[in-house]
Amino acid sequence: MAVMTQTTRIWTAALIVVGDEILSGRTQDKNIAQIASWLGVQGIRLREVRVVPDDQDAIVEAVNALRARNDYLFTTGGIGPTHDDITVDAVAAALGVPVVVHPRARAILEAYYATRGGVNAARLRMARVPQGADLIENRVSGAPGIRIGNVYLMAGVPAITAQMLDGLTGQLEGGLPLLARTIGCWVAESEIADILREAEARFVGVQIGSYPFFREGRVGANFVIRSTDADVLAQCARALTEALDEIGREPVDGGI
């Protein structure tokens, strides 16, 4: 029983996207999909995302709500050098610890800016961390990400966050990755809702999502089957494929 509990434990994460630029519609967020995909590969499920403004109270509320009920909490944005970068202060406030200058972060910034005009007060802001934090390396821009407890502070610029995630790959304990298989079909999802429901009900631990689209003047849908068990996933995919074949709708393995 102990083994079973161990293998079936689901590890979860939440993400807080800090940024007025997302809430104003000016910037299309790219970090949600990027972090979600990366977490999936680590065997960790992204359970909830909140996008909050550059406002300390809003960040503190979200940090405390989400860090307690998830194994991991990620944040993106607000760790740069300007006045609107307040994520470090907000996370420190949420955790009840002071903000300190991290000696290695300072050394990294001094080395990085040695040929780029030197460190100034604004740049030194990026060496500030909640007391007790570790750094997450960043090969792009010098300024590191930050880990404190189960909270991971990442950059707002997606390319920098990608580098930070790369540095974290394989470092986080997770469970079984959620496997997915997509079956596409030129059919209105409303025609085959019963088939989907029955396929999902028949296989324990399987979820099927139905994602309709309109292309080339026709309606279709992709059905995404998810399970942590490769055998069950294959069985469910076969059952759904056969059911679609039976009613004369050609299923497309891999999706349309």
- Shortest spacing between CB 8 and a copy of itself, in angstroms: 18
Give the Cα separation of 103 and 127 in Å (integer). 8
User: Which CB sits closer to a copy of itself, 224 or 232?
Assistant: 224
- Shortest spacing between CB 133 and a copy of itself, in angstroms: 20
- Shortest spacing between CB 51 and a copy of itself, in angstroms: 4
Give the Cα separation of 153 and 88 in Å (integer). 8
CA distances from 100 to 46, 48, 49, 149 (A): 30, 30, 28, 16
Query: H/E/C letters for each residue in 151-162?
Result: EEEECCCHHHHH
Quote the Cα angle for 205-172-227, to 5°: 15
User: Which CB sits closer to a copy of itself, 88 or 208?
Assistant: 208
Give the Cα separation of 143 and 123 in Å (integer). 9
- Shortest spacing between CB 95 and a copy of itself, in angstroms: 21
Q: Which residues contact 130 (CB under 8 A, 6 or more apart)?
A: 88, 91, 92, 95, 97, 98, 99, 100, 146, 148
| Element housing 25 (H / E) | none
Q: What is the largest CA-CA distance in the chain?
A: 70
User: Which CB sits closer to a copy of itself, 54 or 71?
Assistant: 54
User: Which CB sits closer to a copy of itself, 9 or 197?
Assistant: 197
- Shortest spacing between CB 192 and a copy of itself, in angstroms: 8
User: Which CB sits closer to a copy of itself, 6 or 214?
Assistant: 214
User: Which CB sits closer to a copy of itself, 132 or 253?
Assistant: 253
Return residues touching a copy of itself (CB under 8 A). 17, 20-30, 32-40, 45-54, 58, 80-84, 116-117, 120-123, 125-126, 140-141, 157, 159, 178, 180, 188-191, 193-194, 196-197, 200, 207-214, 224, 226
Give the Cα separation of 81 and 99 in Å (integer). 15
- Shortest spacing between CB 99 and a copy of itself, in angstroms: 17
